[in-house]
Amino acid sequence: MTSKELNDKWHDDPNNWKLGIFYFNKEDKRLFIFKRFKLWGWTYNYANPLTHILLALLLVVLFFLR
């Protein structure tokens, strides 16, 4: 578990945000991250392998629901 200060440091580091909207930090093990503007909701940590599994499952479900 990481400390709140370290999480805030990672969140505020512009190098961890690709195109300003995709959070990508291999050191951060959290799956969900507040977006850069916290009023806008949550985003995934795209460096977390579980994110790719969840997104693939979402696509499969959406495919079969159409």
Q: What is the pTM of this model?
A: 0.80
Neighbours of 47 (CB within 10 A): 17
**Count of domains observed in the chain:** 1
Taking alpha carbons only, the member of 6, 4, 47 closest to residue 29 is 47
pLDDT digits (tens, 9 = 90+) for 38-62: 677 899 999 999 999 999 999 999 9
Instruction: Give the residue numbers spanning the domain of 38.
Output: 4-65
